[in-house]
Amino acid sequence: MGRAFDPIRQSLLRTLTNEDESPPEWVSKLERGDDGGYFPQSSAAWAVHGDLPTIVAGIRALLTQALHPGALAGVHDHSRYREDPFGRLAGTIRWIFTVTYGSTDAADSATGWVQHIHQRVRGVYPGSDGEPIAYAADDPDLLRWVHLAFTDAFLGAHLVWGARPIPGGPDAYVAEWAKAGEMMGVAAPPRTHAELRAQLREYLDAGILRYDERVADVVRFLRRPPLPRALKPTYPLLFRGAVASMDDEYRALLGLPTPRGPVRLPTALVLDATGRLIGRTTGAEVSALARLERLGLTRP
């Protein structure tokens, strides 16, 4: 796309990275390191995280994660998601891409950085009966829920809109990304798609997930986030795609109706336009490929 679209391109990149510099310094640093990292170029993780449906997946993951009152309390009480929503988004993207594409040292360092932040995230939230319940961001149960919601969202969005084949299929992605869960402290993360769905079902069946005013507030915020003007016309299509791709149970818990009318094609068109604007290969992947080429680890 020509220069006429530069303002939209810059708005999009700034939203995703929260930085004016392109690529951000941390992306360039992925060229450094002395090994191939935890996930090779041929991995399912590279296929899923390097494709455009991650944009839809991010919205879906945040919606799903909000249904756990402990996970939501940590965001509500300790993050500045309203004042600086794109800062939090950029931090999450940085961790995902560094673990996926970086050397093992870079991935371990990024994970340690997130764990250090989690140590300060503690508090209480009201239980269903009004009694206070203590929570901590590094609690194994909360870590497990966040990992499950993330894995389900990214895989689910890719299965609908992904252009890159997943080497080994959905089971391979779940099994590979279990490594990231273990790095964060998740005990016994799922290794197959069926196990992923079964572990998610446990939270539904136990009645842990719930809808309340805090969840409603997150839904309202994600429906109409404070985006740059250039991105506002297309975002509703991405939000509709995220909602439509969810399982009925989670959509119902969130109080969101099934979107009416065409969803899959309009969302695909927005993702295609996004790829034309910013490229179909992320800067993180380009930096990782430069490192692998230096090490003689690139595939033909």
> E strands within 196-287?
none
Report the range of poorest mean pLDDT among 12-21, 154-163, 215-224, 264-273. Answer: 12-21
Residue 20 is predicted with a pLDDT of 61
pLDDT tens digits along 36-87: 999 999 999 999 999 999 999 999 999 999 999 999 999 888 876 776 666 6
How crowded is residue 82: how many other Cβ atoms within 10 Å of its Cβ? 12
Mean pLDDT over 103-108 rounds to 98
Of the two residues 8 and 190, the one the predictor is more confident about is 190
- Tokens linked to 262: 């065409």
pLDDT band at 168 (very low <50, low <70, confident <90, very high): very high
SS3 category, 133: strand
* Residue in 154, 150, 88 with CA at minimum distance from that of residue 117: 88
pLDDT score of 95 more than 90: yes
- Put residue 254 in one of left, alpha, beta given phi > 0 → left and psi -120 to 50 → alpha: alpha
- Tokens linked to 210: 């719930």
Residue 221 is predicted with a pLDDT of 92
Residue 128 is predicted with a pLDDT of 80
pLDDT score of 158 more than 80: yes
Report the range of poorest mean pLDDT among 22-31, 163-172, 176-185, 233-242. Answer: 22-31
Q: Which amino acid is at 234?
A: T
Phi, psi torsion values for 135, nearest 5 degrees: -140, 160
> How far is 18 from 232, CA to CA, in rounded Å?
17
Residue 17 is predicted with a pLDDT of 72
Share of the chain above pLDDT 70, in %: 93
> How far is 281 from 285, CA to CA, in rounded Å?
7
Helix extents (H) in 5-84: 6-17, 25-28, 44-49, 54-65, 69-78
pLDDT score of 2 more than 60: no
The DSSP element (H or E) to which 225 belongs, if any, is none
pLDDT band at 5 (very low <50, low <70, confident <90, very high): low
> How far is 241 from 212, CA to CA, in rounded Å?
23
pLDDT tens digits along 230-284: 889 999 999 999 999 999 999 999 999 999 999 999 999 999 999 998 888 989 9
pLDDT band at 21 (very low <50, low <70, confident <90, very high): low
pLDDT score of 173 more than 90: yes
pLDDT score of 11 more than 90: no
> How far is 15 from 28, CA to CA, in rounded Å?
18
Of the two residues 298 and 100, the one the predictor is more confident about is 100
* Residue in 32, 31, 7, 10 with CA at minimum distance from that of residue 19: 10
Residue 230 is predicted with a pLDDT of 87
Omega within 30 of 0 (cis) for the link into 23 = yes
